[in-house]
Structure 1
């Protein structure tokens, strides 16, 4: 275990309203809302996985708040598909998400690649996205 692993802050869902939700999960929820995806549409286990993946890709500290928007953009696109995403977020965000998804297909170790794999494995991914990009888990 490295010093970085030992100092990593754990995420918290809260406990019966007694202990608050951790800042990283609140930032992810805010970013999901910003791309018109209600946080309740994403299971807590998936959200915990997302913030942990982000921490893995920012090993020298906590991910900055600015990192949550692009993560929510790609994950949201995967979940709702291109048409619904475009209606809520416009053509620029849609094109950005589509470019990132295309690159992620060949880079499964990247954060984007892992987000796409999470969407597939958690069965949250839109069938339209699966068909359009011919995605499968082999």
Structure 2
């Protein structure tokens, strides 16, 4: 469910909500152009961020943008854009999310997987797949 107040704008008459602008800026800062991520995926990410309480603070967006960028770009491209220390830090978050299997980071990874945005090398190297219901 998309949290109330998340807006992508409409025909230039209504602006994007502040939280969508924060996420776009965070994606861009991490080296992933926001237009490469469908609006529905970004709206879902913002909703996941707000799932456990009030509006996320502005400082909550860069880590989510970085994880989404790593997931979409893969390790090499992410490291070229952000440096090796950032790659190690965000990759550590991805690994912890896969170990624990719940929480915001795990939800973001799952979102990127289901959206078809998870880089193939990450999917293969870490064996990331979604359980499929038979039928």
Normalising by structure 2, what TM-score? 0.92
Structure 2 equivalent of residue 126 of structure 1? 119
Give distance in 2, aligned partners of 1:137 and 1:105.
12
User: Which of 48, 56, 75 is the aligned partner of 1:53?
Assistant: 48
Paired residue secondary structure (2:83):
helix
User: Which of 30, 33, 40 is the aligned partner of 1:35?
Assistant: 30
Structure 1 equivalent of residue 103 of structure 2? 110
Paired residue secondary structure (1:56):
coil
State the 1:9 CA deviation. Answer: 4.2
Q: Which runs of 4+ in 1 moved over 4 A?
A: none
Give distance in 2, aligned partners of 1:68 and 1:101.
16
Structure 1 equivalent of residue 79 of structure 2? 86
1:28-65 Cα distance to aligned partner (Å, 9 max, x none): 000001001100000000000000000013x0x21011
The unaligned stretches of length 5 or more in structure 1 are 1-7
CA RMSD of aligned residues (A): 1.0
Structure 2 equivalent of residue 64 of structure 1? 57
